[in-house]
Copies of this chain bind each other. A is one copy, B any other.
Amino acid sequence: MATRTRRPERRQEPLSRERIVAAAVELLDSVGESGLTFRALAERLATGPGAIYWHVTGKSELLAAATDAVIGGALAADDLRATPRDAVRALALGVFDALDVHPWVGAHLVSTASHSPTLPLFERIGRQVRALGVPESAQFTAASTLMNYILGVAGQNAANTRRVEPGTDRAAHLDRVAGTWAELDPEEYAFTRSVTEQLRGHDDRAEFAAGIDLILTGIAGRP
């Protein structure tokens, strides 16, 4: 027996900032940055483009909120038993992995405020820097350097995934880049050519972690 009061299939729960941001993240993940359109978003939410503006001031706020949501999720609770060095590594790799799933975040992490969502990341890094025993006067520089390195990699990875058509896998892409490097002018690009083999078949994630370790060594070994 069908219920008398059936709510129409199409009527969704009311619009909310939360639902809008979630839909924006989905759209960004599936169609990429150019796919985030107020019209596409409105269609997905079964409403008109104007409705979105009641909950969100504009596109840049929407992007910031989407970035916030992803990064907030990536900054899991610290493992209190880890060494500071391991905690920094875990923090950095958490961001790295989140960007792997949501490549569009990289570009907007970089272009976003000295405010959210980079601030929580800065705080988390800073705490570990302090735990490392870095003297107070050097803490700001140490935390900033780690932060800027992480954001730099984030941006580069975002650029890479944007350039590569979604189908190709990492290995194929690296091979292609290595191929172009091998064809560079031997004199003008002597160094780049010499590290071509290190590029081919290297692991982005491991490479990223190695950079973190390098900086940590620099922080520990400050003269």
Contact = CB atoms under 8 A, between A and B. Distances in A.
Copy number in the complex reads: 2
A126 B184 CA distance: 15
Contact of A149 (B126, B137, B149): B149
Chain A interface size, as a band, is 35 or more
Interface string A129-142: 11000001101111
A211 to B, nearest CB: 4
Nearest to A174: B114
What secondary structure prevails in chain A residues at the interface with B? Answer: helix
Interface string A110-140: 1111110001001100110110000011011
A110 B163 contact: no
27 contacts: A110-B152, A110-B158, A111-B155, A113-B159, A113-B163, A114-B156, A114-B159, A122-B191, A122-B192, A123-B190, A123-B192, A126-B192, A126-B195, A130-B191, A140-B195, A140-B207, A141-B210, A144-B211, A148-B149, A148-B211, A151-B152, A152-B153, A152-B154, A214-B219, A215-B218, A217-B221, A217-B222
Interface of A: 107, 110-115, 119, 122-123, 126-127, 129-130, 136-137, 139-145, 147-156, 158-160, 162-163, 177, 180, 184, 188-192, 194-195, 198-199, 202, 207, 210-211, 214-223
Q: Which 9 A-B pairs have the closest CB atoms?
A: A152-B152, A218-B218, A126-B191, A110-B155, A148-B152, A145-B211, A140-B198, A221-B221, A217-B218
